[in-house]
Amino acid sequence: MPGTTIRNYAASEGTGDLTRLTDARGYDAEASYSPDGEWIVFSSMRDAYGRTLTASEQRQLDIDPSYFAEIYIMRADGSDQRRLTDVVGYDGGPFFSPDGTQIVWRRFDAEGLIADVWMMQPDGTDARQITDFAAMSWAPYIHPSGEYLLFASNKLGFENFEVYMVDVGGTKEPVRVTYSDGFDGLPVPSPDGTRLAWTSSRGGGREGQLFLADWNHEGALAALRSAPLR
């Protein structure tokens, strides 16, 4: 989508009024607030439009603009916008940890075929890879306990996404959570960590539906303790 501009806005819960937060050319999206509401982390392709590209970069932009997507952070009012990542490939889908001390996101390789879950501090330091499935692992979300995260991956087949969980250190092999053909992904635990919402195509047809289930936190911890080292 070269030339397309998508910007971040904030909406007033009371009035519905919109406030524009970003004004860069390109794609600013996939935004989420820090737990204290002071910061917003988001994905942006602005680097592709803010400088002179090399010939090879221009060809890449024409083919796949998402190649230039990086993680940025800004204050809740849109000020103090800063870039946190600087690696080729699509970095996106960021979320803060429950205590606000970490950011989790997914990083695609340069070809856009393989993605893994990464974590870093809010200033961009200590970036570390959490998964290594040689597949498309994405949509990570940290459990409110802060001890592990949930994500989706097609490790078992290109069109078969399942939900997995892994310790936040990425020291263990991820543990599979869902068992159904098709798509299971976009997992988000409830604020108290006792329920899990996700999208699944298990109901039939191509369209996904929202599912909600009880979540056994102690059982999850036990399964992670029993998982082999990565």
Rounded CA separation 118/70 (Å)? 13
Residue 73, helix vs strand vs coil:
strand
Rounded CA separation 186/145 (Å)? 18
- Total count of domains within the chain: 2
How far, in whole angstroms, is CA 210 from its chain's centroid?
Answer: 18
Q: What is the mean pLDDT of the chain?
A: 95
Under 8 Å between Cβ of 106 and 119: no
Query: Quick one: 83 and 134 in the same domain?
Result: no
Domain span holding position 52: 1-122
Query: Quick one: 91 and 188 in the same domain?
Result: no
Query: Quick one: 30 and 117 in the same domain?
Result: yes
User: Comparing 46-50, 122-126, 163-167, which segment has the lowest mean pLDDT?
Assistant: 46-50
- pLDDT band of residue 103 (cuts 50, 70, 90) is very high
Res. 1: pLDDT tops 60? no
User: Domain containing 65 — which CATH number?
Assistant: 2.120.10.30
CA terminus-to-terminus distance, the chain? 38
Q: What pLDDT, on the 0 to 100 scale, is given for residue 229? A: 96
Instruction: State the residue for tokens 């940890």.
Output: 97
Under 8 Å between Cβ of 143 and 133: no
Average of pLDDT values for 214-230? 97
Q: What pLDDT, on the 0 to 100 scale, is given for residue 207? A: 84
Single out the residue in 122, 144, 164 at which a domain terminates: 122
Percent of the chain with pLDDT over 90: 93
Single out the residue in 63, 92, 122 at which a domain terminates: 122
* pLDDT tens per residue, range 202-221: 988 778 999 999 999 999 99
Average of pLDDT values for 172-200? 97
Q: What pLDDT, on the 0 to 100 scale, is given for residue 4? A: 63
Query: Quick one: 20 and 107 in the same domain?
Result: yes
Q: What pLDDT, on the 0 to 100 scale, is given for residue 5? A: 79
Looking at per-residue pLDDT, the higher value among 126 and 7 belongs to 126
* pLDDT tens per residue, range 8-33: 999 998 999 999 999 999 999 999 99
Q: What is the dihedral of CA 66, 64, 109, 82, to 10 degrees?
A: -30
Under 8 Å between Cβ of 200 and 145: no
